[in-house]
Amino acid sequence: MTGMVALYIFMLAAFTGYEVISRVPVILHTPLMSGSNFVHGIVLVGAMVALGGAHTPLEKTIGFIGVLLAAGNAVGGYVVTERMLEMFKSSGARSQPKRPH
Amino acid sequence: MPASWLSADLAIQASYFLTAVLFIMGLKRMSSPVTARSGILWAGAGMLVATLITFLYPGMSNYELILPAIGVGGVLAWWSGKRVAMTNIPQMIALYNGMGGGAAAAIAAVELYRGGTEGYASTTLAVAGGIIGAVSFSGSLIAFGKLQGLITRSIRFRGQQLLNLLLLAAALVLGALVAAQLDASLAVVTGFFVLALVLGLTMTLPIGGADMPVVISLYNALTGLAVALEGFVLNNAAMIIAGTVVGSAGTLLTQLMAKAMNRSLGNVLFSGFGDTGTAATGEVSGSLKPIEASDAGVMMAFASKVIVVPGYGMAVAQAQHKVWELSQLLIERGVQLRFAIHPVAGRMPGHMNVLLAEAGVPYDLISDLDEINAEFETADVALVIGANDVVNPVARTDKGSPIYGMPILNADKAKNVIVIKRGQGAGFSGIENALFYLDNTRMLYGDGQKAVAELIQAVKAVG
């Protein structure tokens, strides 16, 4: 990929991120931050490639730490986001409030 | 390049393309409460596809290291993510985010150590991603420590900004040496990363707990940017797109949060308001007027409109389930009941919504500041539980107050205000609350959970 094409991708992706988030209600700010935190867990594929090309013990050690951290980012980000979003329900989607005894 | 590599390459590129689409669709779906749940599933599918296909990457070795690293990191994160309490979600986001930043820095380190970057552009991008990732890593760990209560003091000393500036300058000089390919020796590269890590620590240590959400959001955006930069280095489209989308979305979220707290980003990073315990006490006139739970219960039972204003104190007292039980009782009686959420209620914007959702409160009963503020004037009772600064009227009136200008919930405009509070101390920011001294305000002292349980009994007793 040439430098200019890369720059175009960067610009378009930046606008995409801005547009996707710009009309979000406040109630979703925390889950969304958590969700975007999960999305940058894609660093895992880069860490895998870096470790996959490492030769010296130093490179391998740092690469190992990189993959470990990246996997933590991806998995942890997914689990907490999913747990949060699972709980969002509207009153139409739930059973009627419990009657007092 | 052998033919099998070519087809593997095609499969990889196609998969990364699919991943980028799934991520963007997923984030889009996450921006509405109706579709949010499916959004994370879409994004998760994208992550799975990208991770699996990367095993086919041409010329990969060290699988015996890659697999256990994924296993250990993944299992630890899974375990911690599953068992963390909802009140502690913000610091877990900080922790996982820091891990991502650390991973981006690690990629930069491996590529720079092994001379894997070709040309000035690629090396410069690796260096830039490296410093941003490293700062995000150590900074996020400090943020985690602060919110988790591991670091209770904000360490400040004279010349701190100067020290940060010097650290940054030194890191940039070493980074420039590497990027200009003048000296990419082990010592210089290592020194560069050590300086960047220390900078993250010294930048974040002086920032107070109340400002941490903005800081976490900022580091989230920075990690995204670092990932995108390392994506350019590795020529990896999935990383470029996902990282950039998060970088810009995170920047926007950071701005929204800072605005909601009436703070500029520069203010958050370079001044220590976040936990000033002694800042402007402000004189308040009047007295605190206590009320018994039984009286408060009767008042609410016969109200036609009640607005509940929950704050982080409610979540700390684990009172949200009781609050919802009380709310259901009132709704049963025909009371018009709403929850009013300030953008910064809880430890970060939207955190309170998560805590209420956990207790089973439907999201359509929850209104944010703009929707509800006009309604306080027609409310018979505003029930303030565990909230303090976000209902403090001095934000409207007292120019000398540190929170002056912050948008607040107009709880003071309600006909009656009941404040459930543990003791007579000031709020998170240490500012005396004028609301508590108003003529229409009554204080219901006690532990949040116990006080609400008493209110429930009182409402039931009305019959």
Residues facing residue B444 across a β-bridge = B420
Tokens of B59: 């010329």
Mean pLDDT, residues B186-190 taken together = 92
User: pTM of the full predicted structure?
Assistant: 0.84
pLDDT digits (tens, 9 = 90+) for B162-175: 898 999 999 999 99
SS3 A35: helix
Q: Any CB–CB contact under 8 A between A82 and chain B?
A: yes
Q: Does residue B389 carry a catalytic annotation?
A: yes
pLDDT digits (tens, 9 = 90+) for B35-73: 888 999 999 999 999 999 999 988 889 999 999 999 999
Range 10-39 of A in CB contact (< 8 A) with B:
10, 13-18, 20-39
Percent of chain B with pLDDT over 90: 54
pLDDT of residue B161: 82
SS3 B197: helix
Higher pLDDT, B104 or B344: B104
Mean of all residue pLDDT scores within chain B: 87
Q: d(Cα A68, Cα B198) in Å, to the nearest integer?
A: 22
- The continuous run of DSSP H or E covering B445 comes out as strand B441-445
Cα–Cα–Cα angle for B215, B219, B224, nearest 5°? Answer: 150
Tokens of B212: 């941490």
Of A14-28, B189-203, B268-282, give the range with the top mean pLDDT: B189-203
Residues facing residue B339 across a β-bridge = B308, B366
Q: d(Cα B240, Cα B247) in Å, to the nearest integer?
A: 10
B230: Cβ contacts below 8 Å, ≥ 6 apart: A43, A46, B104, B107, B108, B111, B125, B126, B129, B133, B239, B243
Residue B79 burial (CB count, 10 A): 13
Q: Any CB–CB contact under 8 A between A55 and chain B?
A: yes
DSSP B64: H
- The continuous run of DSSP H or E covering B442 comes out as strand B441-445
Of B6-15, B188-197, B351-360, give the range with the top mean pLDDT: B188-197
Chain B residues within an 8 Å CB radius of A14: 244-245, 247-248
SS3 content of chain B, % helix, strand, coil (to 5): 65, 5, 30
pLDDT digits (tens, 9 = 90+) for A36-84: 999 999 999 999 999 999 999 999 999 999 999 999 999 999 999 999 9
**Which of B18, B30, B338 is the best residue to mutate to test the A interface, defined by the most A CB atoms within 10 Å of its own CB?**
B30
* Residue that has been written with the tokens 């505003």 in this structure: B382
Q: What is the CA radius of gyration of chain B?
A: 26
Facing residue for B31 by CB, picked from A21, A38, A59: A21
Beta strands, E only, B298-439 = 305-310, 336-341, 366-368, 381-385, 416-421
Chain A residues within an 8 Å CB radius of B351: 30
Q: Any CB–CB contact under 8 A between A7 and chain B?
A: no
Query: Which position among B389, B398, B412, B447 bears the catalytic label?
Result: B389
Q: d(Cα B216, Cα B350) in Å, to the nearest integer?
A: 14
pLDDT of residue B157: 75
Mean pLDDT, residues B358-362 taken together = 89
Chain B residues within an 8 Å CB radius of A2: none
B337: Cβ contacts below 8 Å, ≥ 6 apart: B305, B306, B307, B308, B327, B330, B331, B365
Say what the ipTM of the complex is: 0.89
